Amino acid sequence: MSKIQKIIAIGTALTTIVSMSGLTYFAPIAAAKTTAELEAEIAALMASLDALKAELAKLTGTPAATYEGIPADFEFTKLLKKGSKGDEVKYLQIVLQEEVGEDVVGAADGSFGPKTDKATKQFQGDNDLKADGIVGKNTRAVLNALLVAVPPVAELTVASISPASNATSVAVGSNVTITLSMAVDSATVTADSVKLTAGTTAVAAATTVSDKTITIDPTADLAENTTYTVTLTTAVKATDGTALKAESSSSFSTGETVVPPVTGGLTVKLVGPVSAMIPIGSSAEFLKASLLSDVDAKILSLTVTAGGLGAVTQVDSVVLYVDGVRKGSVKDINSSGYAAFNLSTPIELKAGIASELLIKATIASGTAASTYSLAITEIVSDGVTVSGLPVRGNEMSATTATLGTLTFSAGSTPADVNLGDKDAVIANFKVSNDNIEDIKIERITLKRDTSLATIIKDSDIENLELWYAGAVVATTEKIVDNYITFTLATPVTIQKNQSNKVFTVKADIIGGAGYDIRIKLDSTADVFATGLTKKYPSTIAGSYAGAAIDVNAGVVTIEKVNAPNEKIRSGAQTDVVFGTFNITANSGNEVEITTLKLTIVATDESTASAVVEYTETENWEVYDSTTGLTYDLTYDSSETGNSASYKTYENNDPGLLMQSGETHALIVRADTTSIAANAGYTVSIDSVSGGDLVLRETADETSITDITPNSVSLKKVTIQGAGITFSINALSAAYDAVIGAEDVQIVDFNVKTNATSPVKITELQFDDEGANTIDSTVVSAFKLFAYGSDTPIKVVSASQLSSEEITFSDLSVTIPASTTARYILTVSLVSDTANNGKVLKYDISGYTAEDADPTFGGDSVYDTTNDSDSDGDIVVAQLVSARTVTIRSVGMLYVDIYNTDSNVNTDTYVIGGTTGNYLAAIKVRAANESVKIEDLAVYASYASVGNVFSSLSLYDQDGNLLKQASNVAQTTTFEDINYVVPTSSKVLYLKGSAYAIGKDQAGAVDRGTFASDISWRAQGIVAAGNSSGASLVTGDLDGDGGTAGEIVFDTDGDGAYDEASGDAAYTAVSNKAYAVASRIADVEFVNTNGGYNVASSLTTSGTYNAAIIKVTNSAYSNTLATGDVLKTVLQTVKIKLTYDASTVIGAVTLQRINGAAASALAINASSTPTAGTKYLNFDLTASGFSVDDEIAASDSAYYLIQVPVTLQDVTAQNDWIQIDLDLLDGTAGALDADADATGANFKWQDGTDATAKYPLRIKGKIKVEGVKIIEVAR
């Protein structure tokens, strides 16, 4: 018995008991009883009553909607059946998941499909209802009873996170606010249980708890154009001990602080991504740009140009996406350094609406590590002026990384489909993951293959779904420009070592009879996937090109064409199109349609009776655009199944003649009446086999039964008046602005129009909600901007303030139908220190808008969501900006050493005589206002630094030289640099030119002055507010993170700016640089050199060439002190030898190819060898320096390692050996024959007269792995 049946049964029993107890009178008692007998009987009945009440209480609980995802006050009111869509269907599916089973109903996607139909019938059967799959009055009664009958379960869940998931252009000063379903135990909120991260880096922040709300307040502003993720683990608990139901995470990305500039055509502006390390061989995001035009525009072609230090021809697979949709074909950068995209389908831009262009590319596998960038250098439009070019993306550092790889391959071939099929399988592909890391797939774009001779059109397929593991993971309504874009709301994770995980694409086939479908993966760049360990874009391999699938059809076919407008204007209109049925006859003879019957299902129609026609529409007809004839449809009031919202219209003798091979486009249309307001209509040929479409051959009157599909349903067309909806976008909750600041953003908002009409806004009002009185002594002007423009729509003087409300009147801002437009309200502050500490917090308080369609005469338009009484006044507190602006009298400056910058993220060597060497990165950020740095000093850890570097230079992050200092000292000051720091982070680079080394060279110095690692710190900054002009002073180091007017240094390099008393007024130190006369530039294993080849396998006992080490020297022109040629010297080489337990190793030797040999002591001399790892040292200079130890400038030396092997386990063939170098950056270690994993792979000198050095400091390389040589059958 179901839960609802139990409730009904108990209720019946209670009624009976209450009646019998005399509380309700039904009939007199037949025979008299004694008082004692009656009292005993009543006591028994009352005991039963109490028991049943207790059981009922358990079943019913507290009246509340307890199904997660269903609003508390929700009630089922609509007729639902197969084909229905919307929130009410979604809530039905949520109930069915609980009552019938999620495996039966599937995902709660708001679409009433076969699974929902099956689950509904099962639910109806369980509850003694008619199992017809239609949610009518009786079924709704049971469902609504369940909504108040199911007891609530106390669960701790995340109710909301702000900024919202996938939000973009979030202000860098934003806090993160998390609201949970229950009061939170603050003791469980820790750095491990609640985290804010950028990639794998934790963001320093103060986290507080108030009732149900957790607030993360970053210590410093977030970085621009960066993706952040907030994560809550199940360690978070409510105050009653209830743990968070499931780990929750949400990501958002920041934008730029300044409103994008320039109007007067199409403006292109860089919005990301920031410079980063990218893996070679994987498709990575190189450039994001906003495209904003002040008129409707089309981009016909664009040119992408490559830059950076790497070879431009190594930039492959360049692809474009606009607002997430793939555009154009895949291009490689050519030998001239560019790729030209000629777009067969132009990029269309709406006036005033910004679009985002994303450019991805792949650095070819096998490419050496280097830097690359992409730029948009040319755009050809349809006549619109383009400004902002070239737009250059930030430089990316390509590096070799061992990443997880997803390999795509074809799955099983889908069967042919039939015209009219729902949820037809049109593609199956498999994805396999290697053994490196788990990988999450976030987006996949597939392509409709257009190379077939008989290929279907984009419009022949709709309602596409991507399935994985038996569930829908992504949907898209249609194919756009041949591409199918699936964005996975919840990414699918393919675990490492998983193979052949099957993805299926399903869709509705609404056209294309007699044609073919073939789906393929056009480019590996179309898979957006990220490794969960390395956090890099994953490598995508393999391919997928599905087989061609036929779309079959009968002698007569019906194809639908949905109405051109799914939303139509309210009020009286004639010949409104509700869709088209294309009917084609291929019988070989003339055919006549003798009956045409259409089912029309309505929602929100004012008709209250089943026996009369709809009242908001009239004059239904079918217009044959092939012949120009019109066929009236009459309402059949006798049709079984008719209701107030389900009616049949028919023509039983149209006499419509069709010749074989002809297609007749039958357009369904009607007139809307003057009372038409919000009704929606879905037109269908419900059942061909049931007589809704009857055809016969005129020659012999033979009926035609081979008609496909059996039913066709057009998309719903809804009557709707013009409308708008205001909404507030995220801005940082707390924002400091300095007196005199211009254009401080205080409200960021959207205006969304519905699909029926453009809307013109003629007036907007904004009101202050802050504690202080805002007047013209505080604010000088208010400005309204369209987002993406630096030219205001209107400026209003603060003298126009009325009770702190400002009005923008006489506006003429027109927003097209079905468009979301974004706007910014800013203030300009009065420069008066008396305003220090005052706050502003504004909301949208009122508006005036009208229908911009001239046909409807400027009717007033209202926001019914935020203006419930449609009077132009926004409900108080409905649209309040999250931002509270606090006015400060002066700015402040944050300074730290940025040791994670890709240019300086490791210790390095500087070769004497070279220039432009990166020494340190200094990150600076202003607050309250931009700050001008006038002077900046750097301090070197080495007192004699002036004998090493001839000059130091300071550059900004765009490569502009700010100042050069030739008088290098331990403290070097750059004066009058006058660099303006914005309220977002910027990086300054310290570079140095080193003196040459040796005899008779210009400026050459004695190498003794070079014998030290040198690190740097920033200090001695002189700065002032750029707007206020007030000088800044070094902070008092009280641990408060700084206050207005201070320069705050991060002295410990943790990024927290939480220094306390006792810390000095300078930054942490940079990574180290050591000046040398020469250096080893690279080390790698090669397979062949000088007639020697590395063994590919072990076959018999003997001596094997186990490895060849290639050591490459750098380029330089330094000499010895004598003036003789200077060469890099190798003194010792230490290798890692790994082998199997059964393998016996003899005396290993190392020799320079064509040189002498250096021996290591024999190992494993005992008869019972030990498996494992041995580190062997080779002393190349034991007998003094020789030519074998020296490598000339820009030259390479090759060293052969030979290993004597005695194979032991002949049958098992388990013997193997491998040579590795895993201590490239090691330090000095003991020289012994059986050393451990300490020390360094190389002891080397930059010339025979230099001191020994150990670490190689090759950027991006700390080890190299050799080849495992395995025993094979012999």
Please report the pLDDT score of residue 24 as a whole number.
36
Please report the pLDDT score of residue 298 as a whole number.
92
CA distance 630 to 624: 6
Pick the CATH number of 158-253 from 2.60.40.1220, 2.40.440.10, 3.10.150.10, 3.10.580.10: 2.60.40.1220
CA distance 906 to 285: 25
Please report the pLDDT score of residue 868 as a whole number.
86
pLDDT digits 0-9 by tens, 552-573: 877 888 999 998 888 888 888 8
CATH 2.60.40 fits 556-597+604-720, yes or no: yes
CA distance 565 to 562: 8
pLDDT score of 30 more than 60 = no
pLDDT score of 1250 more than 90 = no
pLDDT digits 0-9 by tens, 625-634: 988 889 999 9
Q: How far is CA 251 from the centre of its chain?
A: 7
CA distance 1000 to 913: 13
In sequence order, the β-bridge partners of residue 216 are 176, 207
Please report the pLDDT score of residue 112 as a whole number.
87
Residue 37 or residue 1050, greater confidence: 1050
pLDDT digits 0-9 by tens, 136-192: 888 988 888 888 644 445 688 888 888 888 888 788 878 899 998 888 998 999 999
User: How would you class 941 by CB atoms within 10 Å of its CB: exposed for 0-12, middle for 13-18, buried for 19 or more?
Assistant: middle
Please report the pLDDT score of residue 38 as a whole number.
59
CB 940 within 8 A of CB 928: no
CATH topology of domain 892-1076: Immunoglobulin-like (2.60.40)
Each residue of 736-767: b (16+ CB within 10 Å) or e?
bbbbbbebbbbbbbebbbbbbbbbbbeebbbb
Complete DSSP assignment for 247-289? -EEEEEEB--SSPP---SSEEEEEEEPPP-EEETTSEEEEEEE
pLDDT score of 296 more than 70 = yes
pLDDT score of 5 more than 50 = no
CA distance 140 to 124: 10
Residue range 615-638: mean pLDDT, rounded: 91
User: 878: which 2 tokens?
Assistant: 């409905």
Residue 55 or residue 836, greater confidence: 836
Please report the pLDDT score of residue 68 as a whole number.
82
Q: Are strands 424-433 and 315-322 parallel, antiparallel or unpaired?
A: unpaired
Of 301, 270, 222, 260, nearest in space to 373 by CA: 270
pLDDT digits 0-9 by tens, 317-327: 999 999 889 99
Listed by start position, the domains of the chain span: 3-149, 158-253, 266-399, 405-552, 556-597+604-720, 724-888, 892-1076, 1080-1271
Please report the pLDDT score of residue 29 as a whole number.
36
Residues in the chain: 1274
Other residues' Cβ atoms within 10 Å of the Cβ of residue 1144: 19
pLDDT score of 420 more than 90 = no
CATH topology of domain 266-399: Immunoglobulin-like (2.60.40)
Please report the pLDDT score of residue 378 as a whole number.
93
Largest CA distance in the chain: 136
CA distance 549 to 756: 38
> What is the average pLDDT score of the chain?
85
pLDDT score of 518 more than 70 = yes
Grouping H, G, I as helix, E, B as strand and the rest as coil, residue 692 is coil
CA distance 764 to 807: 6
Residue 746 or residue 1233, greater confidence: 746
Residue range 195-215: mean pLDDT, rounded: 90
Please report the pLDDT score of residue 81 as a whole number.
85
Other residues' Cβ atoms within 10 Å of the Cβ of residue 285: 20
CA distance 386 to 1005: 54
Please report the pLDDT score of residue 777 as a whole number.
93
Residue 374 or residue 552, greater confidence: 374
CA distance 813 to 488: 36
Please report the pLDDT score of residue 1161 as a whole number.
39
pLDDT digits 0-9 by tens, 701-711: 888 888 989 99
Q: Are strands 813-815 and 884-888 parallel, antiparallel or unpaired?
A: unpaired
Please report the pLDDT score of residue 1146 as a whole number.
86
Other residues' Cβ atoms within 10 Å of the Cβ of residue 644: 16
CB 186 within 8 A of CB 214: no
Q: How far is CA 397 from the centre of its chain?
A: 21
Residue range 397-408: mean pLDDT, rounded: 88
Please report the pLDDT score of residue 57 as a whole number.
44
pLDDT digits 0-9 by tens, 1207-1216: 876 666 678 8
pLDDT score of 895 more than 80 = yes
Among 66-70, 532-536, 693-697, the minimum mean pLDDT is found in 66-70
Confidence class for position 1058, pLDDT limits 50, 70, 90:
low
pLDDT score of 1120 more than 80 = yes
Residue range 94-102: mean pLDDT, rounded: 89
Of 493, 507, 523, 282, nearest in space to 408 by CA: 523
User: 405-552 architecture in CATH?
Assistant: Sandwich (2.60)
CATH, range 3-149: 1.10.101.10
User: 893: which 2 tokens?
Assistant: 């400056």
CA distance 909 to 1230: 24
pLDDT score of 910 more than 90 = yes
**Class (C level, CATH) for 1080-1271:** mainly beta
Residue 1201 phi, psi dihedral angles, 5° rounding = -110, 120
Cα dist from 330 to 343, 545, 708, whole Å: 11, 16, 39
CB 683 within 8 A of CB 668: yes
Hunting for tokens 């788990």 — which residue is that?
A: 438
Order of all β-strands in the sheet with 908-911: 908-911, 1073-1076, 1013-1014
pLDDT score of 930 more than 50 = yes
CATH topology of domain 724-888: Immunoglobulin-like (2.60.40)
Cα dist from 631 to 440, 578, 651, 670, whole Å: 55, 15, 7, 12
Please report the pLDDT score of residue 39 as a whole number.
58
Residue range 921-927: mean pLDDT, rounded: 91
CB 182 within 8 A of CB 238: yes
Percent of the chain with pLDDT over 70: 89
Please report the pLDDT score of residue 37 as a whole number.
64
Order of all β-strands in the sheet with 839-840: 734-738, 884-888, 839-840
Among 14-18, 264-268, 588-592, 1053-1057, the minimum mean pLDDT is found in 14-18
Other residues' Cβ atoms within 10 Å of the Cβ of residue 286: 26
Cα dist from 652 to 445, 612, 686, 695, whole Å: 47, 19, 16, 11
Residues 6+ away with beta carbon under 8 Å from 736: 885, 886, 887, 888, 927, 928, 1044
Cα dist from 82 to 114, 121, 639, whole Å: 7, 11, 20
pLDDT score of 382 more than 60 = yes
pLDDT score of 60 more than 70 = no
| 481: alpha, beta or left? (left if phi > 0; alpha if psi -120 to 50) | left
Equal fold, 158-253 vs 724-888: yes
Residues 6+ away with beta carbon under 8 Å from 941: 1013, 1014, 1015, 1016, 1069
CA distance 678 to 754: 13
User: 1227: which 2 tokens?
Assistant: 């330090």
CA distance 992 to 1009: 16
Residue range 985-1003: mean pLDDT, rounded: 83
Confidence class for position 10, pLDDT limits 50, 70, 90:
very low
pLDDT score of 8 more than 70 = no
Order of all β-strands in the sheet with 892-897: 961-965, 949-956, 986-994, 917-927, 892-897, 1046-1049, 1033-1034
**Nearest-10 crossing angle of helices 137-149, 87-96:** 60
Please report the pLDDT score of residue 533 as a whole number.
87
Please report the pLDDT score of residue 46 as a whole number.
52
pLDDT score of 350 more than 60 = yes
Residue 647 or residue 64, greater confidence: 647
User: 1098: which 2 tokens?
Assistant: 């072990």
Grouping H, G, I as helix, E, B as strand and the rest as coil, residue 52 is helix
CA distance 943 to 948: 10
pLDDT score of 23 more than 80 = no
Question: What pTM does this model have?
Answer: 0.47
Complete DSSP assignment for 72-92? TT----S-B-TT-BSHHHHHH
Please report the pLDDT score of residue 351 as a whole number.
83
CB 157 within 8 A of CB 174: no
| 734: alpha, beta or left? (left if phi > 0; alpha if psi -120 to 50) | beta
- Cα atoms in the Cβ-side hemisphere of radius 13 Å centred on 486: 28
